[in-house]
Chains A and B, each alone.
Chain A
Amino acid sequence: MAVTYLSLVVLIPLAAVVWRSAEDGAAGFWAQVRTPQAWSALELTIGVSIVVAVVNLVMGTLIAWVLVRDTFPGKRIVEMLIDLPFALPTIVAGLVLLALYGPASPLGIDLAYARSGVLVALLFVTLPFVVRTVQPVLLELDREMEEAAASLGAGNATVFRRVILPNLLPAMLSGAALAFSRSTSEFGATVLISGNLPFKTQVAAVNIFGQIESDNVTGAAAVSTVLLAVALVVLVSLDALQRWGSRRG
C-alpha cells in the first residue's frame, strides 16, 4: 500500500517528466536544454549552488563550533534561530530579504535583480544544513584526543587540522551536499529577489516556472530532468558519504 501511494504521488509523476522531456528523442531533449536561456539558467544554478555549498561549509562549521564549544548569554535563542529558515515559508524568506537587501534597503545595500541577491537568498534557506549535521558530531567528539594531541606539543591549529577536522569532514561534506541540493531546487526564496532576468538572475527553477506559464511543457520537462539528474547524483554521493562517515566511526 505504501508502495502504491508513493508510486501515485512521487514515482509516476516524476517518470512522466522524464518521459515528456524525451518526447522528441535525445536530440530534441538536448535542443531544449541548450536553448540559450535554459542553459544560462542551469549554469547560474549550478555555479551559485557551488558557492552556497562552500560558504556553508565554512560558516556552518564555524557556527556549529561556536554553538558547541562556546557559552554566551542568549545562546539558546541563537540555537533556535538556526532552524528558522526551515520553518519559514520560502516566499516569506524571499520577501523578508527583499525588504532588507532590495531597492528600499534601510542599510543602503541593494542586491535585488543581481546575482548576489540570489546568493543571499540561497544562503538564507540553506543555513541550517551544515550546522545541524556538524553539531551532533562535534558534541560526540572525544575531547581526550585533543588533549592528548595538545599534551604531545601540538598547537591549536595543528590539533584542529589533524584531529578535529578529519572527524568532522564527513558531516561537513554531507551538510554541504544537502545545501547544494537545496540550492539547485529552490524557487520561492529566489523568485522575488532575482527579478527573473533571463541570462542574468534567472535560476533553473524559475526558468521552468516561466516555461510552464508560457505552455512550453516539453522545455520545462527537459530542464526539470536535468535538475532531477543533479538531485540523484547528490543523493548517491550523500549515500557514499554516509558509508564513508560510519566506516571511519
Chain B
Amino acid sequence: MPYRDGGLDVARYALRATALVYLLFLLVLPIALICWKTFAHGLGPVVESLSSPAALHAFLVTVEVAVFSVIANTVFGVGTAVLLVRHEFPGKRVLNALIDLSVAVSPVVVGLALILVYGRFAPLGGWLSDHGIQVIFSLPGMVLATIFVSIPLVVRAVAPVLQEIGTEQEQAAWTLGARPWQAFLRVTLPAIRWALGYGVVLALARSLGEYGAVAVVSGRLVNQTQTVTLLVEERFGNFDAQTAYAAAFALAVLAVVTLLLIDLLRPEEDAR
C-alpha cells in the first residue's frame, strides 16, 4: 500500500482473514471432508467400489461422451472462431449471442430442448429413429447435450488470439504459394496452439463433469447410459455412500488436474 498508516495494517489483516475464512468454509473444508470420507476405511473399499462393473462402465461411457463432444467442439470451435474474427456477415451478432446463450441456459432446459427435437415423438427424432438412429436415451443424445453446454469454451479461448495475431503471416504464406489449408495448418494453428489447448482442457473438464443435461437426456440407465456423475447421484440415492464418495473423489482429482493444466497453459499464453 502506498499510503500506509497505522490503521491500515489492521484493515489489511481483517480483509485477509475475512476472505480466507469465507474460502475455508465454502471451499476448503467441504473438499477436505470428501477426501477424508472417501478414505475413511482405507484404500481397499475405494478400489473395490471403483472397479465394480457398473462403475467401470460409467467411466467408459463418460470417456466416450467426452471424447466425441470435445472433438466436435474443437473442430467447430476453431471454425466458428475464425468465422467470427475474420469475416463479416449478416447475423454475426446473433451467432455471438447464441454462443453466449448456450452457457446461460440451465442444463435441464438443454436436456428438455434436445428431447423436444430429437425424441422419438418429435418429427426429426422420429425420422432418425425410423432410420435406426436413436438419439435420446442413448449416446448421441448425451454427446449432443455435452456439446451444447461446452460450446463457447474453445471459441472464446481461441478468438482473442486469432484477433491478436492478425492475418499478415497467413497472407505471407499465401503469397509464397501455400494453399489456404497449408497456411492454416503451418501458420495459424501453431500460433493459436496454447489458446486451443486451454480451450480444449476446459471443454474436456466440462464434458467429464456434466450432470444436469445428461441426466435428462440419458434416461439414466445403469450399465447403459450412466456416466460417472450420474453414478455419484444414483449410488448416493441408493445409500451406497462409499461408491458415491469414491466416484466423486475421482472426479475431483480430474478437476484438480484440469486446474493444474490450465495454470500451465496460461503463463505460456501470456509470455508470447
A interface residues (Cβ-Cβ under 8 A, vs B): 1-3, 5-6, 9-14, 16-17, 19-20, 59, 62-63, 65-67, 69-70, 72, 78, 80-85, 87-92, 95-97, 99-101, 106-107, 120, 123-124, 127, 143, 146-147, 150, 156, 159, 181, 184-188, 191-192, 204-206, 208-209, 212, 217, 220-221, 224, 227-228, 231-232, 234-235
Whether B178 is near chain A, meaning CB under 8 Å from some CB there, is no
Nearest chain B residue, comparing its CB with the CB of A143: B2
Could you say which residues of chain B place their CB within 8 Å of the CB of A100?
29-30, 33
Whether B224 is near chain A, meaning CB under 8 Å from some CB there, is no
27 residue pairs of the A-B complex, CB under 8 angstroms, read A2-B76, A3-B95, A5-B80, A6-B80, A10-B151, A11-B98, A12-B117, A13-B117, A16-B116, A19-B116, A20-B116, A59-B19, A62-B18, A66-B20, A78-B20, A85-B27, A91-B229, A92-B229, A92-B251, A95-B248, A96-B33, A100-B29, A100-B33, A143-B2, A184-B106, A186-B106, A208-B106
Could you say which residues of chain B place their CB within 8 Å of the CB of A99?
30, 33-34, 37, 245
B16–chain A nearest beta-carbon distance, Å = 5
Do B116 and A235 touch (CB < 8 A)? no
B230–chain A nearest beta-carbon distance, Å = 8
Whether B269 is near chain A, meaning CB under 8 Å from some CB there, is no
A2–chain B nearest beta-carbon distance, Å = 4
Do B104 and A87 touch (CB < 8 A)? no
Nearest chain A residue, comparing its CB with the CB of B248: A92
Q: Number of contact residues on B: which range applies?
A: 35 or more
Whether B12 is near chain A, meaning CB under 8 Å from some CB there, is yes
Whether B115 is near chain A, meaning CB under 8 Å from some CB there, is yes
A10-B102, A72-B16, A150-B3 known; A88-B255 Cβ under 8 A: yes
A70-B12, A147-B2, A156-B11 known; A2-B116 Cβ under 8 A: no
Do A16 and B117 touch (CB < 8 A)? yes
Do A83 and B262 touch (CB < 8 A)? yes
A97 to B37, CA, bound (A): 13
Could you say which residues of chain B place their CB within 8 Å of the CB of A217?
112, 115-116
Contact flags B7-20 to A (C-beta < 8 A → 1, else 0) = 11001100110111
Nearest chain B residue, comparing its CB with the CB of A16: B116
Could you say which residues of chain B place their CB within 8 Å of the CB of A143?
2
Nearest chain B residue, comparing its CB with the CB of A213: B216
Do A185 and B109 touch (CB < 8 A)? yes
A92-B252, A96-B31, A147-B3 known; A6-B108 Cβ under 8 A: no
Do B31 and A84 touch (CB < 8 A)? yes
A17-B116, A99-B34, A100-B30 known; A88-B252 Cβ under 8 A: yes
Could you say which residues of chain A place their CB within 8 Å of the CB of B199?
none
Of the candidate stretches B168-176, B185-193, B205-213, the one touching chain A is B205-213
Do A9 and B148 touch (CB < 8 A)? yes
Whether B28 is near chain A, meaning CB under 8 Å from some CB there, is yes
Could you say which residues of chain B place their CB within 8 Å of the CB of A224?
106, 108-109, 112-113
Do A227 and B106 touch (CB < 8 A)? yes
A96-B248, A191-B233, A205-B106 known; A6-B99 Cβ under 8 A: yes
A106 to B116, CA, bound (A): 44
A88 to B254, CA, bound (A): 8
Do B113 and A14 touch (CB < 8 A)? yes
Could you say which residues of chain A place their CB within 8 Å of the CB of B1?
69
Whether B26 is near chain A, meaning CB under 8 Å from some CB there, is yes
A62-B19, A224-B112 known; A232-B229 Cβ under 8 A: no
Do B27 and A124 touch (CB < 8 A)? yes
Q: Which chain B residues numbered 121 to 170 have a C-beta less than 8 Å away from chain A?
A: 122, 144, 147-148, 151
Do A66 and B19 touch (CB < 8 A)? yes
A100–chain B nearest beta-carbon distance, Å = 4
Do A185 and B106 touch (CB < 8 A)? yes
Could you say which residues of chain B place their CB within 8 Å of the CB of A5?
76, 80
